[in-house]
Amino acid sequence: MNNKSGTVLPPNECALVTKADMTQLQLLVPDLPDGTPMPPLVAYLFACHARYQTDPQFVRDQIRWFESWE
């Protein structure tokens, strides 16, 4: 269980969900024991979210690039 949201997740899984009427994202991760490293994919998602929070134009540019790639 993710103690902050009350969402039940298997102990080896995470979930990316929307909140605040789909205007925000929340990454739910299992409560890892102290000293347990964060899995690389979860760290990547956190890094992307942090970059969006500090430099939203970078993410908009990435989305535009992706849309032109299709």
Tell me how crowded residue 45 is: count the other CB atoms within 10 A of its CB: 17
Which pLDDT score, from 0 to 100, does residue 66 have? 92
The answer to the question of residue 65 being in a domain is yes
Position 4 in a domain: no
Rounded to whole angstroms, the Cα distance separating 54 from 6 reads 28
Residue showing tokens 């990435």: 62
Instruction: Dump pLDDT digits (tens) for 21-58.
Output: 988 888 888 777 888 888 888 888 888 888 888 998 99
Q: What pLDDT, on the 0 to 100 scale, is given for residue 6? A: 67
Q: Please state the pTM of the whole predicted model.
A: 0.58
Cα of first residue to Cα of last residue in the chain, in angstroms, is 37
Does residue 1 contact residue 8 with C-beta atoms inside 8 Å? yes
* Domain span including residue 41: 15-69
pLDDT of 64 > 70? The answer is yes
- Across the range 48-69, mean pLDDT stands at 89
Q: Note the pLDDT of residue 55.
A: 92
Structural domains in the chain (count): 1
Please tell me the distance from the alpha carbon of residue 38 to that of residue 25, in angstroms, as a whole number.
19
